[in-house]
């Protein structure tokens, strides 16, 4: 129960992190920057790569633990308290580039840590999970550097947010936890991808 509380606390922390939003360059200016376009183009591909790898791991979980359908695991999910990393700044209605980039970076960091649970769950696919973690870190770093290159405001994530590994009460919960980490990560990447693509099309 204690662990569950901690996970919930982590989720709340992710959702309600104190954003420090500053004025940045208008999007119209960004869209004409060739470097920015190149950044978007490359990292869209990078996001696709990560999405592909996550999908591969989801297939592995499905094949290995017969955990394939999210609808069948909603009840356990409530117990696990695994939350989706927030990306509301990246939605088209409330799109804000700097905030979106910050949310993406933040979420990537969260999933980079959560993937450790998946690595424990799938030791035979540890290399793929590690690659995924590295990719998530690289994508985050790419965004950070691009934001810096653009002169946008950056957010320094609080140190206490770093990687509290979720605790699972049973092997099954661990498996379901892994399943939802991957599922959430996939959804997160999809949203991030759409946000980047949106920027690329401007």
Q: How far is CA 1 from the centre of its chain?
A: 25
Q: Whose Cβ is closer to another protein: residue 52's or residue 158's?
A: 52
Considering beta carbons, is residue 54 or 97 the nearer one to another protein?
A: 54
- For helices 126-150 and 34-65, the axis angle rounded to 10 degrees is 160
Question: Are 140 and 108 spatial neighbours (Cβ–Cβ below 8 Å)?
Answer: yes
Find how far residue 144's CA is from the centre of its chain: 14
Please report whether residue 48 would count as binding another protein according to CB under 8 A.
Answer: yes
Residue closer to another protein, measured from CB, 46 or 95: 46
Instruction: Choose which of 148, 162, 169, 170 interacts with another protein (CB under 8 A).
Output: 148
Our finding on whether 65 is near another protein (CB under 8 A) is no
CB 180, CB 80: distance < 8 Å:
yes
Binding to another protein by residue 134, rule CB under 8 A? yes
Give the total residue count for the chain. Answer: 202
Residues engaged in binding another protein (CB under 8 A): 38, 41-43, 45-46, 48-49, 51-52, 131, 134-135, 138-139, 141-142, 145, 148
């Amino acid at each position: 129960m204690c662990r569950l509380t901690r996970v919930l606390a982590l989720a709340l922390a992710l959702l309600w992190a104190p954003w420090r939003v500053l004025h940045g360059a208008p999007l119209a200016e960004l869209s004409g920057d060739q470097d920015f376009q190149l950044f978007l183009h490359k990292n869209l591909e990078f996001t696709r790569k990560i999405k592909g790898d996550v999908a591969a791991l989801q297939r592995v979980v499905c094949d290995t633990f017969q955990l394939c359908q999210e609808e069948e695991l909603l009840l356990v999910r409530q117990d696990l308290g695994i939350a989706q990393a927030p990306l509301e700044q990246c939605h088209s209605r409330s799109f804000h580039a700097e905030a979106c980039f910050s949310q993406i970076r933040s979420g990537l960091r969260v999933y980079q840590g959560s993937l450790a649970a998946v690595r424990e769950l799938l030791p035979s696919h540890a290399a793929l999970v590690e690659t995924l973690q590295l990719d998530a870190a690289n994508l985050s770093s790419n965004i950070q550097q691009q934001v810096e290159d653009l002169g946008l405001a950056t957010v320094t994530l609080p140190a206490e947010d770093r990687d509290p590994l979720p605790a699972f009460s049973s092997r099954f919960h661990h498996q379901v936890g892994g399943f939802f980490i991957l599922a959430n990560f996939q959804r997160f990447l999809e949203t991030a991808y759409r946000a980047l693509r949106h920027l690329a099309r401007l």
